[in-house]
A and B are shown apart, each in its own frame.
Chain A
Amino acid sequence: MLAYIVFILSLITIISSVFAIIAKKPANSIIFFLIIFLGTAGIFFVLQAEYLGIIQIIVYAGALLVVFVFALILVGDIPVYKKNPLKLQKTFSIILVLIFITIFWSQFGILLFLPGASNLIKFKEASDISLIARLLLKDYLLPFELASVILLCAIIGSLYIARKEAD
Chain B
Amino acid sequence: MILTIILIFIKIVIVFSVVMGLVAYIPYVERKLIGDMQRRIGPSVVGPFGIFQPIADGLKLLFKEEVIPLKADKLLFVLSPVIVVCAALLGICVIPWGDYFLVDCLGKPIISLGYIANINVSLLFIIAVSSLGVYGIVFSGWSSNSKYSLLGGIRATSQLISYEITGSVVILTVALSAKSLSLVEIVNYQKSSVWLIIPQIIGFIIFLICGFAETNRIPFDLPEAESELVSGYHTEYSSMKFAMFYMGEYAHILVFSCLIVVVFLGGWLPPFNIFPFNLIPGTLWFGLKVSIFVLLFIWVRATLPRVRFDQLMNLNWKILLPVAFANFLISAILVIAF
In the bound assembly, the distance between CA atoms of A73 and B147 in angstroms comes to 12
CB of B76 within 8 A of chain A?
yes
Q: How far is the CB of A15 from chain B (nearest CB, A)?
A: 16
- Contact partner of B76 among A27, A55, A58, A61, CB < 8 A? A27
| B135-A34 in contact (CB<8A) | yes
Question: Which residues of A lie under 8 Å from residue B135 when comparing CB positions?
Answer: 34, 65-66, 69
CB of A70 within 8 A of chain B?
yes
Count B interface residues, CB 8 Å. Answer: 27
Q: How far is the CB of B141 from chain A (nearest CB, A)?
A: 8
- B-contact 0/1 string along A12-35, CB 8 Å cutoff: 000000000000010110010010
| B157-A70 in contact (CB<8A) | yes
CB of B315 within 8 A of chain A?
no
| B131-A25 in contact (CB<8A) | no
| B124-A51 in contact (CB<8A) | yes
| B157-A69 in contact (CB<8A) | yes
A27-B76, A69-B138 given as contacts; is B121 within 8 A of A54 (CB)?
yes
Closest chain A residue, CB of each to CB of B80: A31
| B75-A58 in contact (CB<8A) | no
- Contact partner of A61 among B79, B132, B143, B154, CB < 8 A? B132
Question: Which residues of B lie under 8 Å from residue A127 when comparing CB positions?
Answer: 119-121
Q: How far is the CB of A67 from chain B (nearest CB, A)?
A: 10
Count A interface residues, CB 8 Å. Answer: 23
- B-contact 0/1 string along A46-79, CB 8 Å cutoff: 0000110011011001110110011011000000
Please count the residue pairs between chain A and chain B whose beta carbons lie under 8 angstroms apart in the complex.
70
| A28-B76 in contact (CB<8A) | yes
| A73-B161 in contact (CB<8A) | no
In the bound assembly, the distance between CA atoms of A69 and B120 in angstroms comes to 31
Q: Which residues 130-182 of B sit at the A interface, judged by CB distance below 8 A?
A: 131-132, 134-135, 138-139, 142-143, 150, 153-154, 157, 161, 164, 181
A27-B142, A31-B75, A50-B121 given as contacts; is B157 within 8 A of A57 (CB)?
no
| B125-A54 in contact (CB<8A) | yes
- A-contact 0/1 string along B102-133, CB 8 Å cutoff: 00000000000000000111001101110110
In the bound assembly, the distance between CA atoms of A66 and B150 in angstroms comes to 15
Closest chain B residue, CB of each to CB of A48: B119
| A51-B127 in contact (CB<8A) | no
| A31-B138 in contact (CB<8A) | no
Q: How far is the CB of B5 from chain A (nearest CB, A)?
A: 12
Q: How far is the CB of B43 from chain A (nearest CB, A)?
A: 38
| A50-B131 in contact (CB<8A) | no
What does DSSP make chain B's interface, helix, strand, loop or mixed? helix
- Contact partner of B120 among A34, A50, A58, A61, CB < 8 A? A50
| B142-A62 in contact (CB<8A) | no
| B119-A50 in contact (CB<8A) | yes
A31-B79, A50-B119, A73-B150 given as contacts; is B134 within 8 A of A58 (CB)?
no
Q: How far is the CB of A133 from chain B (nearest CB, A)?
A: 11
Q: How far is the CB of B171 from chain A (nearest CB, A)?
A: 11
- Contact partner of B154 among A31, A34, A55, A73, CB < 8 A? A73
Question: Which residues of B lie under 8 Å from residue A54 when comparing CB positions?
Answer: 121, 124-125, 128
In the bound assembly, the distance between CA atoms of A69 and B135 in angstroms comes to 9
| B121-A61 in contact (CB<8A) | no
Q: How far is the CB of A73 from chain B (nearest CB, A)?
A: 6
CB of A121 within 8 A of chain B?
no
Question: Which residues of A lie under 8 Å from residue B132 when comparing CB positions?
Answer: 34, 57, 61-62
Q: How far is the CB of A70 from chain B (nearest CB, A)?
A: 7
Closest chain B residue, CB of each to CB of A41: B128
In the bound assembly, the distance between CA atoms of A80 and B61 in angstroms comes to 37
CB of B73 within 8 A of chain A?
yes
Closest chain B residue, CB of each to CB of A58: B128
Question: Which residues of B lie under 8 Å from residue A65 when comparing CB positions?
Answer: 135
CB of A154 within 8 A of chain B?
no
In the bound assembly, the distance between CA atoms of A69 and B121 in angstroms comes to 28
In the bound assembly, the distance between CA atoms of A61 and B87 in angstroms comes to 13
Q: How far is the CB of B232 from chain A (nearest CB, A)?
A: 15
CB of A147 within 8 A of chain B?
no
In the bound assembly, the distance between CA atoms of A10 and B128 in angstroms comes to 21
15 pairs of residues in contact across A and B, judged by CB atoms under 8 Å: A28-B73, A34-B135, A50-B125, A51-B120, A57-B132, A58-B131, A61-B128, A61-B132, A62-B127, A62-B164, A69-B138, A69-B142, A72-B142, A73-B142, A127-B119
Closest 7 CB pairs of A and B: A62-B131, A57-B128, A50-B119, A54-B124, A58-B128, A54-B128, A51-B121
